[in-house]
Amino acid sequence: MKTKVLMAILAAVIAGLIAVPWIASYFYVFIFTEILILGLFAASFNLIFGYTGMLSFGHAAFFGIGAYAMALILIHLEWPFLVSLLVSMGASALLALVIGFLSVRLNEVYFAMLTLAFGMMVFAIAYQWRSVTNGSDGLAGFTLGSFGLGLDLTLANPSVYYHVVLGIVAIASIVLYLICRSSFGMTLKAIRQNPERVSFAGLNVRTYRLVAFVIGGTFAGLTGGLIAPFLRVASPELLHWSMSAEPILMAILGGTGYFLGPFIGAAAFVLLETVITTYTQAWMLVLGIILAVMVIFFRKGLLGTVIDWWMEVKK
Amino acid sequence: MSGIGAALLNSLDIGLLLFIIAVGLNIIFGVLNIINFAHGALYMLGAYLAFTLINLAGMPFWAALLLAPIGVVILAVIIDRVLLRFIYSRDVADSLLLTFAILLMINESVRMIWGSGIHVVQPPDLLSGSVQLLGSSVATYSLFVIVIGLLLLAGLWYLFNRTRIGRIMRAAALDRDMAEALCINTRLVVTGVFAFGAWLAAVGGVMAAPMRALDPGMGDKIIIESFIVVVIGGLGSFPGALIGALILGLIHGFGGRYLPEVNMLLPFVGMALVLLFKPHGIMGKGANA
């Protein structure tokens, strides 16, 4: 019964998401495109944090690298969109392998500091290497060509791009979900709860952590590849630690203990940002206050709090 | 030759300034077992308060050096009693998240109060000139930073190794329950240590103000530098913080002079090298995952 209700809700949400461009204005199409991309970005972060228990403060590095890879390919090589996305994923996977190799060996505190520092290293490179990255202005002025697979799609049309994003995010989310549910995902959860015990069971914790970190980074690269054509620019801001703060906040806001938590957090985040920035410039201040309140009082996030409340009511 | 002398002195003043800030981070970690992400924001707040006291209230530099850190300490006590007290008994991740939230709040508040433009603080008249040393002219202010840095270094060493307060702090760092059992008020120690770390950050901020332009990104820069220092030196180690800070000072002092096109990258390269060969830092011990 419970799963049937859940399935019905999920189906309704998906149907609603598909219908957005037909029932709402471009303003909402843009908002939902952003929610989908950032939702997957936050979910990729949550594989590392919520599942494996490693709090990364440098997730924007993979997001930004994906965006830069996409922009560079569209400017210089004009490859089809899908192929460029694969390159975005490959570039961030490689970067995640290097940063992960140096960071996952040490405990949580070190991991947090190292991911922040290495994330800012990537930011520094994008900022200083003007001949390739165009420095602080970032890369702009690229146009989307063909989609790939012989499909004839006008990607420049926001509605079409929204549906493309919806399709790709849906497929990627299913893959990510299957990874989380697999025995590999279960092992990651076990590592979060008790690394020593997993280690004594004969598993190499470090390798598992590195693989989780690389998978999370790869999916973040995919979302970066999606965001560049959406924003029409790949700029150093996408690599800055304030960008790394966003998936952290989304995951905490939605609930780190659930696969769908980060998506709900991303929706709440984007809607809040849209509302709050019309009143005040101090978005980061509001962000800080929300994060502090969530961490202190609602550590299970919106989803977790609602589910707990629901269980309480049913009793 | 004169270039090398100047670069050395430059390395020393950057290094000692970094030490003052990083050692605060280290002390807080040692006793409270949290990494304070807002440490750089407190440093920045020290610098901006000094700017307000000197340029707007017309106070002398010396008064600002005394008063600005006290303002930051008051804020730190409030942060500790209002926010941090909730998470001391929780998972490490929560303390990282909460201090990160505090960082966001302070950063944005600084932007709102002082604007995103650049502010400049003049060094006091007494220290605004330059002297001939090692065959090159050196800013008097940078010698002043070196002297204060060495004084603080000696003072901290004395505090930790020769005084009762230092022993209490070390006891609380080793085993808080045992310290509690020995009638030490650990609540007070925790608040005191957090405030003391904040004081060091703010003193660093005031000292840095006449050397660097003030902008709302200065705290982010210094927190990343401090992380690099404690990773290179070894988290929680007092000599480690000094070694790490001096190494980073050398990287900046010489890198900025001889390799300007990659100087932003060099600290990270240094950190990655240390991590490859000594994952726990030069003076660090056991921090395996």
- In tens, the pLDDT along A38-47 reads 999 999 999 9
Query: CA torsion sign, A256 to A261 to A266 to A268?
Result: negative
User: Is B142 near chain A, with CB under 8 Å?
Assistant: no
Residue A15 lies in a domain: no
- The SS3 assignment for B60 reads coil
Residues of B in contact with A203 (CB under 8 A): none
**Choosing among A284, A287, A293, A300, which should be mutated to test the B contact, i.e. which has the most B CBs within 10 A?**
A284
Query: Alpha-carbon distance B17 to B211, whole Å?
Result: 11
* A106 lies in some domain: yes
With CA atoms as reference, the chain B residue closest to A199 would be B289
DSSP string, A196-232: HHHHHTT--HHHHHHHHHHHHHHHHHHHHHHHHHHHT
The residue in chain B having the minimum alpha-carbon distance to the alpha carbon of residue A288 is B101
Residues A43 and A250: their CA atoms lie apart, in Å, by 9
Residue B80 near residue B199, CB atoms below 8 Å: no
Question: Tokens in use for B252?
Answer: 């900046």
Least confident of A60-69, A293-302, B255-264: B255-264
ipTM of the complex: 0.87
Which chain B residues contact residue A244 at CB under 8 A? none
Closest CA to A70 of A42, A37, A48: A37
pLDDT grade for A109, boundaries at 50, 70 and 90 = confident
Provide the 3-class DSSP secondary structure of residue B263.
coil
* Predicted pLDDT of residue B91: 83
Confidence grade of residue A226 (pLDDT, cut at 50, 70, 90): very high
pLDDT at residue B280, rounded to an integer = 84
> What does the pLDDT profile of chain B (289 residues) look like in tens digits?
467 878 888 889 899 999 999 999 999 988 888 889 999 999 999 999 999 999 988 889 999 999 999 999 999 999 999 999 898 888 888 998 999 999 999 999 999 999 988 998 888 888 887 887 766 777 888 889 999 999 999 999 999 888 988 888 888 888 888 888 888 888 888 899 999 999 999 999 999 999 888 999 899 889 989 999 998 998 888 888 999 999 999 998 888 778 877 778 888 888 888 888 888 888 876 544 3
Instruction: Report yes or no on A147 lying in a domain.
Output: yes
B98 close to A (CB below 8 A): yes
Q: What is the DSSP string of B81-113?
A: HHTGGGTTTS-HHHHHHHHHHHHHHHHHHHHHH
A10-39 residues touching B, CB cutoff 8 A: none
Q: Which residue has the tokens 């420049």?
A: A156
Q: Do A55 and B97 touch (CB under 8 A)?
A: yes
Q: In terms of residue numbers, what domain contains A113?
A: 25-241
H/E segment holding residue B19: helix B2-32
A314 assigned to some structural domain: no
> Is the separation of the CB atoms in A236 and A138 below 8 Å?
yes
Q: Can you tell me whether residue B142 is helix, strand or coil?
A: helix
pLDDT for the residue B288: 41
Identify the pLDDT of residue B289: 38
Residue B121 structure tokens: 């603080």
Number of domains composing chain A:
1
Pairwise CA distance, residues A204 & A227, whole Å? 35
Cβ neighbours for B279, distance < 8 A, ≥ 6 positions apart = A105, A106, B287
Bridge partners (DSSP) listed for residue B131:
B138
A207 touches chain B (CB under 8 A): no
Amino acid at B65: L
What is the Cα–Cα distance from A92 to A97, expressed in whole angstroms? 8
The mean predicted confidence, pLDDT, of chain A is 89
Are the beta carbons of B68 and B50 closer than 8 angstroms? yes
CA distance B152 to B7: 22
* pLDDT value of position B43: 96
Distance between CA atoms of A243 and A255, rounded to whole angstroms?
19
For residue B287, the model assigns a pLDDT of 45
